[in-house]
Structure 1
Amino acid sequence: MRIGVAYASKDQRVWLRIEVPEETTVGEAIARSGMLERFPEIDLEVNRVGIFGRFVTLERTLAPEERVEIYRSIDADPQTVERRDRD
């Protein structure tokens, strides 16, 4: 089945479409995608993961066309960063 795996580092965003067997878990899909080799800063014991913006576990079984998202931690405390004007 076809699924997506997405990650955004500080410098680039990557969204891969890959084929995986049915009953593939989120963790297995991430491993198959090559994201862990491409972005060595990803630590699945630290980074949370989700599907379409909702947190899930690495053991969650995927359905066709779902997008696995690997989230990175926030680099700055929003309460201490000056507000930026938005145009």
Structure 2
Amino acid sequence: MTERLSVEVAYARPERQWLVGLSLPSGACALDAVRASGILAQCPELDEAALKLGVFGKAVKPEAALREHDRVEIYRPLLADPKEVRRQRAEAGKRTKKGG
């Protein structure tokens, strides 16, 4: 096992994205990487207590242990519930078919 881990932290807004490479002590967790990345300080919309994180597209808890070359992803909150959006589209489609 290595003494240090090489990992990345990724976050994206519609207008900008961050990809920060880090070297962390072995045994570091996902939240350690986010804190060390400096992204929280640059993005006031992120609430450390409510972060949704993943590693290579798979959701993980903030305390999840990291492995060499992991990419920790910070997910933005959804603007709309996907189920509700689909329901609204289906309703709009029904109205269009009846009216046409």
Mapped partners of 2:30, 2:62: distance in 1: 5
Q: Which residue of 1 aligns with 2:52?
A: 48
1:77 deviation in Å? 4.9
Mapped partners of 1:10, 1:76: distance in 2: 16
Q: Which residue of 1 aligns with 2:98?
A: none
CA RMSD of aligned residues (A): 1.7
Q: How many equivalent residue pairs?
A: 82
* Structure 1 gap segments, 5+ residues each: 82-87
**Counterpart check, 1:70 vs 2:61:** no
Using structure 1 for the length normalisation, give the TM-score: 0.83
- Letter aligned with residue 64 of structure 2: R
Identity of aligned residues (%): 33
Using structure 2 for the length normalisation, give the TM-score: 0.73
> Of the two structures, which has the highest relative contact order with CA contacts closer than 8 Å and spacing of 6 or more?
1
Q: Which residue of 2 aligns with 1:30?
A: 34
Higher helix share: 2
* Structure 2 gap segments, 5+ residues each: 90-100
**Counterpart check, 1:10 vs 2:14:** yes
The 4+ residue runs of structure 1 with deviation greater than 3 A are: none
